[in-house]
Amino acid sequence: MTAVDNLWYLATEARQAAEQVYHRFADEHDDFVEFRTTRTVSRDRFRTVAERIEAQGLPYGAHTLAYRPSGELLLVKQDAIDTWVLPGGEVEPDESVREGARRELAEEAGIDVAYDGLGVLGEVRFRGDGHETWGVLPIFEGEAESTDLDVRDPDGEITEARWFEELPENTRDRSVLREWRRDRFGE
């Protein structure tokens, strides 16, 4: 008996979920930076992200662009990939997307922010083994209510949190963050 590969169907369902989520965010928020990126992944990774997207429209969950009034941005370090990233991660089924972003920010940096709205709305396309789909990457923005950092990441992925005036070379999506900063602070 031959197993039927339903990856094409999963990719289609994921695209439809992403489309709905993207339009919901775009309709609910104004004045955000948009970006698109494409990643080529293995078949197994494709299935994983497509399942996440089908469930919530989000391959990587929700993130926060935390800033100080001076314009410094908060980044957290993922040692496993030697990269500075925005705090964020998967959204739990009982949370709103922003609640998930807030929880992840507290876990990965130990702070809270006064959210201003949506700072960046990303479209992340995935290609793998002849299939393609895409998901939404919402990045909320907010001014830090405290600036004393305390990493409490239960997953152990984040090892450090730091405020940056200048973004390090090994910052994920560095050009997008620069564009957001120019729009937000006129830099």
User: Residue 146 — pLDDT band, cuts 50, 70, 90?
Assistant: confident
CB 137 within 8 A of CB 122: yes
Residue 4 has pLDDT above 70, yes or no: no
Average pLDDT of 123-134? 96
CA distance 59 to 18: 9
- The pLDDT assigned to 158 comes to 92
Indicate the residue type of 37: T
Q: Report pLDDT digits (tens) over 115-128.
A: 999 999 999 999 99
Query: How long a stretch of residues is the chain?
Result: 187
Give the percent of the chain with pLDDT over 70: 97
CB 115 within 8 A of CB 97: no
Q: Report pLDDT digits (tens) over 152-171.
A: 888 888 999 999 999 999 99
Q: Which 8-state DSSP code applies to residue 81?
A: G
Q: Report pLDDT digits (tens) over 52-79.
A: 999 999 999 999 999 998 889 999 999 8
Indicate the residue type of 15: R
Residue 6 has pLDDT above 60, yes or no: yes
- The pLDDT assigned to 145 comes to 92
CATH H-level, domain 7-185: superfamily: Nucleoside Triphosphate Pyrophosphohydrolase (3.90.79.10)
CB 109 within 8 A of CB 151: yes
